[in-house]
Each structure stands twice: as structure tokens, then as C-alpha cells.
Amino acid sequence: MDQLMDHTLARQNLLLTQELTDVKAQMATLTDTVAQLLARTPNQVVNASTNNTVTNDASTNNIVTNNAPVTNIVNIHPWSSGEEKLYIPAAMLEASFMESKRLREFCKFSDVEQTTPEIAAPYVLESLVDLTKRAHKDPSARNVYLNPRRADQVMVYNEASWEVLPLIDAIRSLFDSVAGNIRRIIKCNDERVSLSPPVQATAPWIPVMYDDEHEKYADTAKKTMSAHLQNTTPAAISNIVNMTSR
């Protein structure tokens, strides 16, 4: 009886191992399929929300033929271009503070409050996330997308191909870029003077506080940033994943 039971358990373990191997193989194939789609057409990615075509080497806008949908083709800013993954002008920084109730509140805090981590953290995170979202309203800045089948991964555009990165690394790079943009604005006289006095006084604390705990900010923002990147994922990627999963 014991031998029969051992044989049955061994067979069940073998079947489970085979099923797990099959699942892993299917996931690997799916990931490769998405990557290959992006690699084959790095300059033909359709945006799901606007039905626009995003490209890295063309700049044709507003083409209408026989009542066909409008197609806007724009240049994708490569992820690998350096620290400036995003571009944030002074007007965007001003708008972020003035249009956010939370950031307007942060401007009224004392210097001590603005530099106390326990008090400032939610406001700093609000600024980092809001500025990232604002920068990504420009289709050419959308050089990073959530991997539809791996919640912990993103795909980034590097020159002529798409590569896979851990989500946490991508968030940290985006926030590094936001912090760098704020520093640039504050250091540049022409840009700084275009800011209102409250923003001039408060915005410099965002990169200062972020630098002290950049890993913590990136980790805290995972859920929010994952949702944001999910919302900006092109239809071409989502469609191929749905077709493959049927």
C-alpha cells in the first residue's frame, strides 16, 4: 500500500513539474512575442488613447485622407539619452504647484516643515508623480511602458530597440529626471524668475528631500506609477498580449 501511495505521489509531482515547466515556457514565449513586436516596429507604436502613431524617426502631423483617422507621427525621446528621461519646463513646474491643492498647501509650510521627512514625504511624492504624468502627456516622452504580462517590469526605448527593465529601476530613473529638471529650473535665472515666489521658495526642497530617500520614494510610488504606465501603454502592445493569451 505504501509503495502504491509513493508511486501515486511521485507521478503527481512529475505532472505538476511538467505543467509548471509548460507555464514558464508559455510566459517566456509571450514576453518574447511582445519584445519582438516592439523590436520589429520601434517607430510604429500606436497610442491607445489617441490613436496616434509614435515613431523615432518621422515627424508627420495631421494627415487626413478620405475621412481616415488623423495620424500624428512624432519622435520618441530615447530612454538611453542620459539622465534627462523627461523634459519639464518652468511653466509645467509652476502649473503643477498651482493646480494641486496638496502642493499649494506645501508652499505654506515653514522651512522646518518642508524639510522634515515625516511631514514633507507625501508632498514630495505628489510632486514627483504629478510632474512625471504631466511630462508624459507629450507622446514623444513616452519611452517607457509597463510590460503587460509582468507587473514588475517595463519596456524602455533605447535608440532602435526596446529593452526590459525592472519597474522599480524605471521609477527611480523617472524621479531622478524630475529632480534634475527642478534643479535646472532653479539654477537658471531666466527659468527661475518665471516662477511665482511661493514656487521659487518651495520647489528646491523637492530634489533635496528626494535625494535623501530616493529608494523609499520609488518603492512607495510603485502602485501609482504602475497604473500610470498601464494607462499609457500603446494599443499595439495590449492587442498582441490579448491575442496571445486566447
* C-beta of residue 141 within 8 angstroms of C-beta of residue 86: yes
**Euclidean distance between CA atoms 198 and 104, whole angstroms:** 9
Q: What is the pTM of this model?
A: 0.71
Which pLDDT score is estimated for 78?
Answer: 86
> What's at 80, amino acid-wise?
S
The pLDDT score that the predictor gives to residue 187 is: 96
Residue 200 grid cell:
521659487
How far apart are alpha carbons 97 and 100 in whole angstroms?
5
Closest CA to 153 of 145, 142, 141: 145
> 28-33: long-range contacts (C-beta < 8 A, 24 or more apart)?
29/244, 30/149, 30/241, 30/244, 30/245, 31/147, 31/149, 31/150, 31/164, 33/240, 33/244
Q: What is the pLDDT of residue 233?
A: 79
pLDDT one digit per residue (tens) for the chain, 246 residues: 555 555 565 666 666 566 556 545 555 555 555 555 454 444 444 443 444 444 444 333 444 445 555 555 667 888 876 667 899 999 999 999 999 999 999 999 999 999 999 999 999 999 999 999 999 999 888 889 998 778 899 999 887 778 899 999 999 999 999 999 999 999 999 999 999 999 999 999 999 999 999 999 999 999 999 999 988 877 645 444 443 344
Task: Report residue 64 as a C-alpha cell.
Answer: 487626413
Domain boundaries, the chain: 75-233
